[in-house]
Amino acid sequence: MDLRTTPEEQKFRDDLAAWLASEVPAYGPPPSTHDWDARRAYDTGWQRKLFEAGYAGINWPKEYGGLDASGVEQLIYFEEIAKANAPYIGVNFVGMLHGGPTIMVEGTEAQKAAHIPRIISGEEVWCQGFSEPVAGSDLANLQTRAERDGDHYVVNGHKIWTSFAHVADYCEMLVRTDPDSSKHGGISWLIMPMDLDGIDIRPLPTLEGEGEFSEVFLEDVRIPVSNLVGKENDGWRVTNVTLRFERGTAFASDMIQLQAFVAKMVETAKKITSDGATAWDDKALRREIGHLSGELESLWAMVKLSVCEAKETGVPGVGASAVKLYYTDIFQRTTELAVRLLGRAGISRSDVMDLPAQHFFARHFNAISTAIAAGTSQIQKNIIGERILGQVKEPKPNPA
C-alpha cells in the first residue's frame, strides 16, 4: 500500500480535524469511573456522534454502515482522534475492535446484518467471554461446556476478567462443544445475549478501584444455534482471527496516545526544579525520553504494517503478537519513567502541587495490566518464536 498522502486523503484529514475541533470540546469530559451507567451513556453517545458524522466503522463496508476507508485513511483517523484527545472508545472496545471485526470475517450474512450496524452506531455494547479461572494463560484449556439441545446450546461454566460485562448487550463467548476432542479441536465461538436466564455477573474490583472487570457465572444458559460463528468445533481458528484484531490493530489509538503521554512527561520535567535546575536539564533524562520517542515511532510503523495487512487480507498477520508485545514493553517503560520523574509525588494517587501524579500513577497501573490483557507476554513470545521465527516448539509438561 502506498502510504504517501493524496490530495483526497489530506482533505479527509482536514475535514476530520475540523469536525473534532468543534465536537470534542462541546461533548465534555467523561463521567466518574465508578458510575458505569453514565460511562455507557457517555461512550455510546460519542460513538453515535461519530456514526452520524460518517466517521464510525472506519474500515467496514458501507452496506453495514461503515466508511470503507482506505488503509491510509484509517491511519489518519487514528492520528487525528488521538491528536484531538477525543473521548476514548471505552465500552465500545470489544464490539468495535475485535468482536465486530470477527463477525465481519467469519459471521453469516444474518449475523452481520443483525449486529454490525448496531455496533457501529453505538446501540450494542459487547464484552469478551474468553478467560477462565483455571485456564491461566492457556486459553484453549477452557472448561465452559455447551451441549446441543435441539436448536439451542445449553451452556454451563465460569468466565473471569470479563471487561464491561455489567453494561454489555452481547458477549463473544468461547465454549467447549466436544469434550472428547483435542484441546484445540472441540471449541466453538458463540454470540451470547447478556439478558438470557442463567447469567450471573459479579463485579471484580482491581487495584485501580475501577469496576471494569466482572466474573460471569453461566448455569443452563440457552443460546440459539443460529448464534454460532463459524462451524461447530472450529472455534479455535475463529478465535485466532479475533486475537489478531485484538493484538494487531485494537490498540492503535492507545499507541498514538502514548506519544502524547511522552509530550506530557516533557512538559512536567520542565516544571520540576531542584537546586536551581529543572529535571529537563538532566541530559540522562532527555536521552531516555528521546529513545522512547524513537521507539514509539518504530511501534507506529509496525501498526501501519498490521493495518495494511488487514486491509489487503481482511485480518492482521501473525506479526500482531510482535506489535502487542512491543507495545506492552514500551508502555511499561514509559510509565515507569513518568513515576520516577515525579519522585516522592510518584507514590501519590492524587495530584501534588501542579504535577499530574494521579494521571501518571493511573497510567502506570494500566501499563502493568497490559502484560496480561489480550494474551500474556509469555504467550506472545511463544507465538513469535514458533510461528514467525520457526523455532522448535516449547516442550509440553510431562503428565507423570
SS3 120: helix
Convert 136-174 to b/e letters by CB count within 10 Å (16 or more is b): eeebbebebbbeeeeebbbbbbbbbbbbbbbbbbbbbbb
Convert 7-18 to b/e letters by CB count within 10 Å (16 or more is b): eebeebbeebbe
Q: Give dist(CA 36, CA 396) in Å, integer.
A: 42
Q: Which of 246, 295, 309, 312 is catalytic?
A: 246
Q: Closest Cα partner for 85 from 164, 173, 21?
A: 21
129 contacts 190 by C-beta, under 8 angstroms? no
What are the residue ranges of helices labelled H in the chain? 7-27, 36-53, 71-83, 93-94, 100-106, 109-120, 235-248, 252-269, 283-313, 320-342, 357-369, 377-383
| 309 is an active site residue | no
Q: Closest Cα partner for 262 from 305, 306, 207, 299?
A: 299
Q: Give dist(CA 288, CA 84) in Å, integer.
A: 26
136 contacts 379 by C-beta, under 8 angstroms? no
Bridge partners of residue 102, in order along the sequence: none
What letter does residue 315 receive in the DSSP assignment?
A: S
By annotation, the residues acting in catalysis are 246
